[in-house]
Amino acid sequence: MSNPTVAIVGRPNVGKSTIFNRIAGERISIVEDTPGVTRDRIYTHTEWLGKPFNLIDTGGIQIGDEPFLQEIKDQAELAIDEADVIIFLVSVKEGISDADEAVAKILYRADKPVILAVNKVDNVELRQDIYDFYSLGFGDPYPLSGSHGLGLGDLLDAVISHFPEHEVDEEDSAIRFSLIGRPNVGKSSLVNAILGENRVIVSDIAGTTRDAIDTRFTNDDSEFVMVDTAGMRKRGKVYENTERYSVMRAMKAIDNSDVVLMVLNAEEGIREQDKRIAGYAHEAGRGIIIVVNKWDTLKKDNHTLHEFEEGIREQFVYLSYAPIVFVSALTKQRLSNLPALIKEVNTNHERRVQSSALNDVIMDAIAVNPTPSDNGKRLRIYYATQVSTAPPTFVIFVNDPDLMHFSYERFLENRIREAFDFKGTPVHLIERHRK
C-alpha cells in the first residue's frame, strides 16, 4: 500500500511554503553532487507520530500563463487529484478574500477530507479572529503560526486521523515498482503493455477512501505491484504538462517503490528534465532500471544501440550501476524481459553480504591499491560491515574519515561490486572513526 499524500492549497502569500518547510523540517536533505536537482522543494516525504506520508505544496506548481484566479483553482484541482487529505490554508491577517472563496468552491467538490488551517495567528489576540473562517464551510479552523512554529501538532494530529486504516501487510513480498519520466516518453503505454502481458490480480479490498492506484500482477510465480498507475492514465488536466508536476509525480512514485523504471524516449534523446528526474531516483536510493522506449522509431544500424548506451552513460554518470533496456511499448519488443529484470534488481537492492566475505574483499583491495595518505598520515581501514539493505549500506571503520578520498571510496565500491552482484542498486559507503 502506498503512503498517503497530503496537499497544502491556498492563495499566494498565506504561508504555504512556510508551513511546508516547517512540517518537512530537517528531513529535507539534498545530495549536493547530484546534478540538476532543484533547490526549492514542493514535495517531501515525512512522518508524524510514526505515520509516514508524502507532502505537496501545490503553490509551487506554476501552471503558466493563466490568470491568477484560474491558476489557484487548477492547484486546488491538482490537490483533489493527488491527495488523500487536503490542508486548506488561509491567513488571519487578510481575512477571507475572493481568492479564498474560489479555492473553497473547488474544494467543496472534493470527496476527500479538507482541513481548514488559519495561518499567521502569531499571538493570542488574533486567535478570536479565526472563527470568521467558519463561514468557509469546512468546520473547525486550526490556528497556526508558521513564523513561530505554533499549532502544527494539533493540525498534524487531525491530518493523520483521516488516513485510511490499512493493515500494514508485513507478509507482502510483492515487488513494488513504478515508471517515471517526463510527459510523452510513453509511461502509460508501457503500463498498459506490461499489464497486457501479465496476469493482473483484481483487488477485492473494499471500503478504503483512497483510489486504488496500485495494480498487482504475477509473472512467473513472482508478484509485482505497479505503483500509481491510475494517476498515469488520468488525462487532460492543464497542470499535467508542467515540469514541476511531472517531477512531483515522479518523486511520489519513487517514494512508494522498491525499483524505479526511468523511462527515456529514444526518439527525442535525453533532455534536462530527464536528468532532474533521474537525480531524484538516485538520491532516494531505490533500485533503478533505465528503460529506453520507442526503440521502434529509430533507423538502426550495428552501432545505434551502442551509441545510445554511451550517450546515456555520459549523461547519467552517477547511474553507472543501472542496467539499460531498449524497448517499444508499440511493438512490445523486449517487454517480456522486464519483470525478470525488475526482480533481479530488487534482489540486489535487498542483498545482504557476510561480514567475512566483505572484509576479504576490502583487504584484497587494500593489497592491490594501498590506502591514500595525507601529510604523512595514512588512512587505515580496520573493519567493514553491512548495516542495512535497500539500498545496501556499508560502514567502514577507519582511523580518520577525512583521509578517505572520493576516488579511493569509488575504488572500494567498484571492488565490492565486482565481488557481489549489486547490479541496479546504489550502494552507500559510510566511514566511521574508530579509536
Angle value at C-alpha 204, between 202 and 208, nearest 5 degrees: 125
Tell me if residue 105 falls in helix, strand or coil: helix
DSSP 240-287: GGSHHHHHHHHHHHHHT-SEEEEEEETTTB--HHHHHHHHHHHHTT-E
Is 118 a known ligand-binding residue? no
CA dist., res. 422 & res. 287, Å (int)? 10
The single-letter DSSP state of residue 295 is G
Amino acid sitting at position 414: N
CA-closest candidate to residue 164, choices 211, 121, 107: 211
**Taking CB under 6 A as the rule, does residue 229 contact ligand GDP?**
no
**Stretch of 5-13, 37-45, 162-170, 339-347 contacting ligand GDP, by CB under 6 A:** 5-13
Binding mask 188-217 for ligand GDP (x = CB under 6 A): xx----------------------------
Give φ, ψ of 7 to 5 degrees: -120, 140
Is 211 a known ligand-binding residue? no
CA dist., res. 268 & res. 298, Å (int)? 10
CA-closest candidate to residue 213, choices 239, 197, 234, 189: 234
CA dist., res. 307 & res. 292, Å (int)? 13
Is 61 a known ligand-binding residue? yes
Instruction: Report the sign of the C-alpha dihedral through residues 396, 399, 402, 405, in that order.
Output: negative
**Taking CB under 6 A as the rule, does residue 187 contact ligand GDP?**
yes
CA dist., res. 277 & res. 174, Å (int)? 25
**Taking CB under 6 A as the rule, does residue 249 contact ligand GDP?**
no
**Taking CB under 6 A as the rule, does residue 252 contact ligand GDP?**
no
CB of 145 to ligand GDP, least distance (A): 4
**Stretch of 8-16, 102-110, 282-290, 415-423 contacting ligand GDP, by CB under 6 A:** 8-16
Task: Pick from 145, 215, 257, 371 the residue near ligand GDP by CB under 6 A.
Answer: 145
Task: Pick from 2, 5, 17, 46 the residue near ligand GDP by CB under 6 A.
Answer: 17
Nearer to ligand GDP among residue 292 and residue 398 (C-beta): 292
**Taking CB under 6 A as the rule, does residue 147 contact ligand GDP?**
yes
**Taking CB under 6 A as the rule, does residue 13 contact ligand GDP?**
yes
What length is written for the chain?
Answer: 435
CA dist., res. 272 & res. 276, Å (int)? 7
CB of 286 to ligand GDP, least distance (A): 19
Number of residues that bind ligand GDP (CB under 6 A): 31
Q: Where are the alpha helices (DSSP H) in 333-430?
A: 338-349, 355-368, 406-419
Is 392 a known ligand-binding residue? no
Is 183 a known ligand-binding residue? yes
**Taking CB under 6 A as the rule, does residue 129 contact ligand GDP?**
no
Is 17 a known ligand-binding residue? yes
| Beta strands in 68-139, from DSSP E residues, in sequence order | 85-91, 114-119
**Stretch of 7-15, 47-55, 307-315, 404-412 contacting ligand GDP, by CB under 6 A:** 7-15
Is 122 a known ligand-binding residue? yes
Task: Pick from 23, 90, 115, 185 the residue near ligand GDP by CB under 6 A.
Answer: 185
**Taking CB under 6 A as the rule, does residue 273 contact ligand GDP?**
no
**Taking CB under 6 A as the rule, does residue 323 contact ligand GDP?**
no
Q: How far is CA 10 from the centre of its chain?
A: 24
In the range 54-73, which residues lie near ligand GDP by CB under 6 A? 59
**Residues contributing to the site for ligand GDP (CB under 6 A):** 10, 12-18, 59, 119-120, 122, 145-147, 181, 183-189, 232, 293-294, 296-297, 328-330
Known binding site for GTP: residues?
10-17, 57-61, 119-122, 181-188, 228-232, 293-296
